[in-house]
Amino acid sequence: MRIAHLELDLDVFAGPFDLLLSLILREELDLLEVDLAEVVIAYLDHLESLEELDLESATEFLVLIAALLELKSRLMLPGEEVEELDELQPAEAAEELVERMLQYARFRGAGAHLAERHAYGQSFLLRSARLPEGLRKVPVASAQAAYDPAVLGASLGALLRVPAPIDVTHMATARVTVGERLQILRDLLRRGRFSFDEAVKDADRVTVCVTVWALLELYKRGEAAWEQDEPFGPIMVTADAPQRAAA
């Protein structure tokens, strides 16, 4: 239940609290005739009838009743003070009350925004404790020693030194020529027929590639041909008829 809907039963007014405010602002009801103490008592009775305290409604009531009390105290000031406040009566006094109510609404909206941001921030938890020793990649002692200027100088000096040449003497480069493989293939062709696997038995990849090149050269010259009965089957190399006749 909003505070504006609070039902009042005063000597000069009976009805909801928001209607009382409206009549005062429109100057249809003299604020000096309203007993604000009875309004406070009525609100306290209203709080006792509720099972829990609505802080937002209570804050709204305190702001409104404080503004009404200040306005009424100004109206009750006698003598010169009244003359100084003549400009505030009644229109500007009512505008000041409205301004206070609007200011309260702005603060209430800002408070709601901050409460929302606070609730959103509760979903993020920051770890402030240090990692356990077992989860650290570098021990603390080693990490502190790395900041020694001597260690930094040694590291930079190692980058400036020319590394030793790489020893590649253990790497043997296969050396085979097309002419050598042609001679081997021609020797095998004297039998009339042989398998390609026999020509490259125990040979490295370079030798196999050169042997294929030599075989193509023999085919180009018309000295040899080959056949393969099935995919990935053995390749049989045969001497062409003119070569066999010459042999």
Q: What is the pLDDT of residues 39-48, one digit of tens each?
A: 888 888 877 7
Global pTM? 0.33
Give helix 36-49 / helix 55-76 axis angle, nearest 10°: 170
Residue 216 scores a pLDDT above 90: yes
d(CA 196, CA 218): 13
Any idea which of 60-64, 113-117, 172-176, 242-246 has the lowest mean pLDDT? 242-246
Distances (CA, A) of 29 to 13, 14, 34, 65, 150: 9, 12, 8, 16, 89
Regarding predicted confidence, which is higher, 198 or 92? 198
Binning pLDDT at 50, 70 and 90, where does residue 247 land? Answer: very low
